[in-house]
Structure 1
């Protein structure tokens, strides 16, 4: 059995690779070649923390995985990261456990890559202003994916703890490829109002911004909230959105407070959902129809994304010896 560390993955597996692999994953899902039970979440209320257990099998690849991720935000500022994960990769020809993979960075990358796919299909081609609300671990993957798929020239950051946004700004400024403008905003509405692409990557339980501040033509990637009691946007944003897409209907109906809460309050209905991103990738449905449309992608994560990323990483490492 191989043990694959994050620094091994970072040496050769790029965001561009991962975006293409997520497209393949979406196609396999749409062809009913993936099997991903809704994950089990253990909630540690006293710490406002969670441990997630996510199994998945992809028939055509002949691999399955179980991922365990712990999300402990109180670790911020300590020697331990707030997001920690591990993947057990098993080949399904004879059931051999072939690798244990450090999964924190890979989780961030595949979440970013999936949003990158959504952005490729839904954001305006000339979208150049990126706003990120929430500057934690997932924001890194979102930023790299957005830089990969759109010509970003301006970045606006907001975080409840301003110091975290400032630290992220300084981190971005160290990117050799970045020469654009970065602004740390005092107010979430200010950041949201600037966006051509708006990323929401928090564990908020309240709407982060007023839907009325959104510009025509904005595309929203809402990837942070993953429990029914969490939400990053409100019914006002849903009312303004011309298209609402999700990673999987089953997942959001179980876990997305952003959508479940408005449905329960009769402010929105599942019938208003445009579709799953896999339907865009396979051409079954069409995305943005005009530059003025507001589009929204809501993701709670789905485990077949981990399986395809882990399998591709493992196979690349075997090829490289």
Structure 2
């Protein structure tokens, strides 16, 4: 079995490669070429944490995987990561467990890459202004994915804590300076989203974190954080303004995401308002953006196929390059 940590992965795998891997994952999923059960979620009520288990099998790829990921949002206040994870990669032809990858980093990569896919497939080609709401453990790769697929002039970042926002912006300016995009702290969500062409929300919020009336025509929104039915980052009014609404997995979103379940329950939207899955756009089954004035919403809760294809791509590159630690 090959052990691959974050440093190993960084040597051989880029965000642009992660975006391509996740495109493949979404396409396979929407074509029905994956066994991808809804994740098992055990709620650790005493600690306000969630223990998540995500198995996946893709016959065409020749691999299976299991991700264990534990999400504890209150860790942010303690100065420790909000999630811990491992991805186990399995050779489906023999059943051999062939690799264990740093699941926290794989999750960051593939979750960020989902927004990258959204913007690459659905975003305006001439997008120049980005907005990011949330600066937690998933925010770094979300920001990089946005920059990896669009040549942006500026990204405005907002978080409830201005100190946390400024620290994040300082760090990202150093890490992502090669993209040539100005990254600035926004004092309010309104300031962040006004004039934005691309918007990512990645928070554990249980109430909307932006005002839809401040969003301009042509906006593409990727909502990432609402992975539980009681979570709601998205202002539901953006759904009534949206020309198209896409998901990573319709089944998963309708099981898990308060961003969609809450406005469905109060009648703001119905299933008739949904366009489909982003994998269907990638496969050519559905049309994505048709003109620059469309507002397009993408809701993602994450699916195991993202982990599987990302992990197998990293593993194959690592074996070819002789990267990682063999454990027998």
TM-based fold match above 0.5: yes
Q: Residue in 1 aligned with 2:326?
A: none
Q: What residue in structure 2 maps to residue 124 of structure 1?
A: 124
User: 1: distance between equivalents of 2:186 and 2:168?
Assistant: 12
Deviation at 1:176, TM superposition (A): 3.2
1:126, distance to aligned residue in structure 2 (A): 0.9
**In 2, Cα distance between equivalents of 1:58 and 1:155:** 37
Contact 2:140 2:172 in 1 (8 A): no
Q: Is the 8 A contact 2:228 2:256 kept in 1?
A: yes
Q: State the SS of the aligned residue for 2:74.
A: helix
1:244 aligned residue? 245
1:77 is displaced (CA, Å) by: 6.0
TM-fit CA distance, 1:101: 1.1
Q: Identify the range of structure 1 (244-253 vs 134-143) with the bigger mean alpha-carbon deviation.
A: 134-143
Q: Is the 8 A contact 2:30 2:277 kept in 1?
A: no
Corresponding residue number in structure 2 for 1:65: 65
Please say if 1:262 is aligned against 2:298: no
| Alignment length (residue pairs) | 321
For residues 240 and 31 of structure 1, what CA distance do their matches in structure 2 show? 29
Partner of 1:106: 106
Hey, what's the Cα distance between the residues in 2 that align with 1:36 and 1:252?
A: 13
- Report the secondary structure of 1:32's partner residue: coil
Once the two structures are TM-superposed, the CA of residue 48 in structure 1 deviates from its matched residue by 2.5
Contact 1:34–1:57 (8 Å) recurs in 2: yes
Moved more, 217-226 or 26-35: 26-35
Query: Could you state the TM-score of these two structures normalised by the residue count of structure 2?
Result: 0.94
> 2: CA distance between counterparts of 1:116 and 1:30?
18
Secondary structure in structure 1 of the residue aligned to 2:178: coil
Asked if 1 retains the 8 angstrom alpha-carbon contact of 2:236 and 2:263, the reply is yes
Q: What is the alpha-carbon distance in structure 2 between the residues aligned to residue 181 and residue 141 of structure 1?
A: 16
Q: Which residue of 1 aligns with 2:286?
A: 285
SS of 1:142's partner is: helix
Aligned to 1:306: 307
User: Residues of 2 paired with 1:167 and 1:276: CA distance?
Assistant: 35
8 Å CA contact 1:6, 1:103 repeated in 2: no
Superposition TM-score, scaled by structure 1 size:
0.96
Q: Give the structure, 1 or 2, with the largest relative contact order (CA under 8 Å, sep 6 or more).
A: 2
For the 8 Å contact 2:109–2:141, the answer to whether it is kept is yes
Mapped to 1, the partners of 2:43 and 2:163 lie a distance apart of 28
Please list the CA deviations of residues 208-241 of structure 1 after superposition, one character each: whole Å capped at 9, or x if unmatched.
1221110111110101110000011132111111
The answer for the alignment partner of 1:274 in structure 2 is 275
Which residues in structure 2 correspond to 1:1-321 (within 5 Å)? 1-76=1-76, 80-174=80-174, 175-321=176-322
Q: Is the 8 A contact 1:172 1:178 kept in 2?
A: no
CA distance in 2, matches of 1:193, 1:47: 37
Q: Distance in 1 between matches of 2:214 and 2:60?
A: 45
Q: Distance in 2 between matches of 1:170 and 1:201?
A: 19
Take 1:242 and 1:162, find their aligned partners in 2: how far apart are those partners?
Answer: 33
5+ residue gaps, structure 2, are 323-328
CA RMSD of aligned residues (A): 1.4
Deviations 1:217-274 (A, max 9, x none): 1110101110000011132111111111000110001001011111111111011101
Shift of 1:94: 1.4
Q: Determine if contact 1:217/1:292 at 8 Å carries over to the other structure.
A: yes
1:3-52: per-residue Cα shift (whole Å, max 9, x none)? 11111001111111111111222222233211110001122233322121
